[in-house]
Amino acid sequence: MEIRIFDTENLAAGYVADTVEALLREKPEAVLCLAAGHTSLPVFDELAQRALDFSLTHIIGLDDWLGVGPDTDGSCAAFLRRNFFSRVNLRTENIRLFNALAQDPEAECAAMERQIADWGGLDYLLLGMGMNGHLALNEPGDSFARRAHVTSLSDTTRQVAPKYFPAGMPAITQGITLGIADFMEARCVHLAVFGSHKAPMVARLLAEDPSEELPATALKTLPQAQLLLDHAALDGAACV
């Protein structure tokens, strides 16, 4: 995994957008998988401002909160639609997100894997890193060999999750997510980590060998992966 350092998260977002733009010029029908969350917002802004042609591009959902509908504020589906899909010319038939309300979540996971295969695999994957080092909703202890699956949320994730939802939302205990094995097969992977609040986990990521106890370390073995840091995350990590 290569490390790239940027003065600001906006400069990093520009680099991500450059990568996506170059990919779409070469392969307009590329398959993108983009994290929902604060880290992705400057990337979405940059992509929307460039007015790229996404009419042939395919989107695969990364994860979502199990039992939460796509129109619920706080769902990954709602976040992506509001902050990205509504701002570019993606076609609905080219977007495949997890159905977090599926009666048979395991069958939904299998269907997602079939869709990835039918579209030829993930060309580009944008990930963030959670406060406990999780990738998507692959929590500490989850096997690196897993593909799309239902996961029990860690205590850390359960404590963070309510900030995304309206007051009074029932506690969320499970997620549905692509697995580390899916990430390992993506042709280009960016792990974007910004801000001093992520510095302790960045320090661990840089220091530790790959281990299922720190999911983000799985990417350290990938030649096609890049860790994108701003100085706030990196400089803070140096002080930990």
Please state whether beta strands 58-60 and 124-127 pair in parallel, antiparallel, or not at all (unpaired): unpaired
Maximum distance among all Cα pairs of the chain, rounded to whole angstroms? 47
| Active-site residue, 182 included | no
Long-range CB contacts for residues 152-160, cutoff 8 Å, separation at least 24 = 156/130, 156/131, 156/132, 157/130, 157/132, 160/130, 160/131
Alpha-carbon gap, residue 98 to 112, rounded angstroms: 7
**In Å, what is the CA distance from 131 to each residue of 92, 112, 118, 176?**
32, 26, 33, 18
| Active-site residue, 132 included | yes
Buried-state track 145-165, b at ≥16 Cβ within 10 A, e below 16: ebbbbbbebbeebeeebeebb
Q: Which of 132, 138, 190, 230 is catalytic?
A: 132
Q: Which of 58, 134, 149, 190 is catalytic?
A: 134
Q: Which of 139, 142, 182, 230 is catalytic?
A: 139
Per-residue 3-state assignment (H helix, E strand, C coil) for 188-223: CEEEEECCHHHHHHHHHHHHCCCECCEHHHHHHHCC
55 φ/ψ angles, rounded to the nearest 5 degrees: -65, -25
Alpha-carbon gap, residue 177 to 97, rounded angstroms: 10
Q: Which residues are catalytically annotated?
A: 63, 132, 134, 139
